[in-house]
Amino acid sequence: RSSKSMNPMVFVAAGGRLLARFLRKADKRVWMVVGVVVAVAAMQAQYLMDVGIRLGSTPLDPRTGILIPPSKGDLEDIFTGKAALCVGCTKGIGRGIAEALSEVGASPVAVVGRTAAPTNQFAADLSTVKGCHSLSDALKEKGTVYDYVFLTVGVWPNFRDPFTADGLERTLAIDLLARHVVLSRLVEDDLLADGAVIVNTLASAQQFPFVNKQSIKHRLTTRRPPTSLFGTLFPIAVAADAYLSAAAKHFRTDTTHQQISRKQRNLTFAGVFPGVVKTDVQAATLPAWALPLVKAAMTPFARSPRECGFAHLAIAARAPSDHDCCNGVTFWTHLLEGRLAHHLAYDADLIDLVWDVLANHSTVLRSGGAVGLL
């Protein structure tokens, strides 16, 4: 085949010509029907997307139910004067959360991103364990004790450059390990307030029918480049929910944290699925020619980062702190629906595996070693 015939735009152009030929032959009645369908779909795009998300979500959790959206005044009463840390929040979902926090009176709002700017912003390379500890050292030096922590740092798989400087696949390194290292250091350095709420944003409460324990173990313990988008993201998402259960268990009862985490035994964890949001997280995964098409296709039904930010605040404000009810861990969608996690996120063996792998990677890489992956 010639290079010209392999260009995806050739197929797009051919499809456009076929559609134009069909429309030229269509009479007025067809045009009217097409127009009505397109208009209705455009007006109801967000509703239809929400229906699809509900169908793909796990069952509702009867212990948490569906939240009534709090008013802005309610959020101001809850967040005013509260210290918040937003990790991975200089753009996209995280920026929406940080701006929403500032809008309802949270202070200080510390923001972590790739580059630093104003006061209370920290620059960090969270793709490496060394970078995560550098951030944690800066937070320790600052000394702020946080009431709320929002972990949104994350990436999609990068097929062109799949591994970090630590030798780990990027979604494992950033979506899981970076969050573990930062959260562990917050506990170790006693920077979490009594009853602090940790919100972990990835893809909680989704069914993911093709994910099994073996696929999760494969992503955690082997050094192989990603072969597909969903085959990489979905196992990591389930592992992230399992990690929250592990964190709730270890940070409250682990003897290594017994002295320094006395007040952190009241930590509340919430895993959140943010829905479809207008971000550029796809940039490292998709080819450059596809990005404008994807963004255009997402426009009718994607939520803005600001909408997503206020949904996160509602969840953080209302997430149950009754540990006898939920063991301190709940899972939510952006629709404020409390849902059960994927069934594997409750598997005791998998919970222990996720914790052991992340703790081992953190220890080995912090000491300058290399992780042993197949």
Cα–Cα distance between 90 and 98 in angstroms, integer?
8
Across the chain, the runs of DSSP E, i.e. the strands, are: 84-87, 109-113, 121-123, 146-151, 192-201, 268-273, 329-333, 338-339
Q: What residues form DSSP beta bridges with 150?
A: 86, 199
pLDDT per residue as tens digits for the range 253-277: 554 544 444 555 688 999 999 998 9
What is the reported pLDDT for 8?
54
The band of 92, judged by pLDDT with boundaries at 50, 70 and 90, is confident
pLDDT per residue as tens digits for the range 13-40: 676 677 676 666 666 666 666 666 666 6
The CA angle 65-69-75, to the nearest 5 degrees, is: 120
DSSP 286: S
Instruction: Compute the average pLDDT of residues 88-94.
Output: 85
Cα–Cα distance between 369 and 8 in angstroms, integer?
43
The answer to whether the beta carbons of residues 179 and 200 sit under 8 Å apart is yes
What pTM does this model have? 0.86
DSSP 60: B
The answer to whether the beta carbons of residues 237 and 229 sit under 8 Å apart is no
pLDDT per residue as tens digits for the range 172-212: 999 999 999 999 999 999 999 988 999 999 999 999 988 99
**Which of 290, 180, 310, 183 is closest to 229 using CA atoms?**
290
pLDDT per residue as tens digits for the range 204-252: 999 998 899 999 999 999 888 998 888 999 999 999 999 999 998 888 6
The answer to whether the beta carbons of residues 264 and 251 sit under 8 Å apart is yes
Cα–Cα distance between 265 and 243 in angstroms, integer?
16
Cα–Cα distance between 152 and 175 in angstroms, integer?
8
pLDDT over 90, % of the chain: 57
**Which of 217, 201, 203 is closest to 374 using CA atoms?**
217
Helices 305-318 and 92-103: crossing angle in degrees, nearest 10, is: 60
Strand order in the sheet with 329-333: 121-123, 109-113, 84-87, 146-151, 192-201, 268-273, 329-333, 338-339
What is the reported pLDDT for 46?
78
The band of 153, judged by pLDDT with boundaries at 50, 70 and 90, is very high
* Residue 80 one-letter amino acid: T
The band of 3, judged by pLDDT with boundaries at 50, 70 and 90, is very low
The answer to whether the beta carbons of residues 319 and 330 sit under 8 Å apart is yes
Q: Which residue has the higher pLDDT, 358 or 47?
A: 358
What is the reported pLDDT for 255?
45
Q: Which residue has the higher pLDDT, 132 or 372?
A: 132
295's CB contacts (< 8 A; 6+ apart) are 278
